[in-house]
Amino acid sequence: MDIEYKGGNCVIITTKKVTLAVDAKLSAIGLKDYGVKAQVQLATQPQFTVEGTNSLVFKGPGEYEVENISIKGIAAQAHLDAKSEALRATMFRLTIGDISLAIVGHIHPDLSEAQLEALGVIDILVAPVGGNGYTLDATGAVQLIKAIDPKIVIPTHYKDEQITYEVPQQDLKDFLKDLGAPHQESSKLKLKQGLPHEVLTVEVITRTA
């Protein structure tokens, strides 16, 4: 399994059999949409779906299976919503071989016991860290990481001079400082057998076009 970062909350997960694009609609922030290139799209909110493609699209709660990948969508509170509003965001848990991966998107960091139980044991967590009222900031991301307790964290949606976000995003260094975990940088996270780390590590994946 390979994981690439394309900007925003978009990550591309590639196995030998299938390519999955998460939050593939990037045209709103001046980048290229990625839904056309993927067999499967996962959208943490419906507006992040690229329409008019041949992709199989999952954008809500439920349990799905595709090419031996188990996918569970779990309802969550969108970051900007009040607690009284309907849950309109979706977290995804993917089981790929012996690795479990969670993708949370723009959610509120206060997860219930039921939501944490639905996520279960997570090896890799993909989470936004840019903050400024639009998504999780460094503090909220750290809170979420401590609750989920993954071995690897892949940060997304942080400041990038080549991206025009609707709300200016915080620098990645703010999150790295607050979390205080070791980090390393690569152009792609490659996983062949098992996890490369036994302790919490941040994998900073350089954005590629």
Structural domain including 137 reads 60-205
10 within a domain of the structure (yes/no):
no
**Domain with 186 in it: what CATH number?**
3.60.15.10
Give pLDDT tens digits for 102-146.
999 999 999 999 999 999 999 999 999 999 999 999 999 999 999
155 within a domain of the structure (yes/no):
yes
Are the beta carbons of 172 and 153 closer than 8 angstroms? no
Are the beta carbons of 108 and 84 closer than 8 angstroms? no
105 within a domain of the structure (yes/no):
yes
Q: For position 92, what pLDDT does the model report?
A: 98
Mean pLDDT of the chain: 94
Does residue 35 surpass a pLDDT of 90?
no
CA distances from 8 to 17, 26, 30, 134 (A): 25, 7, 10, 12
Confidence of residue 30 (pLDDT cuts 50, 70, 90): very high
Indicate the number of domains in the chain: 1
pTM: 0.96
Collapsing DSSP to helix, strand or coil, 68 comes out as coil
95 within a domain of the structure (yes/no):
yes
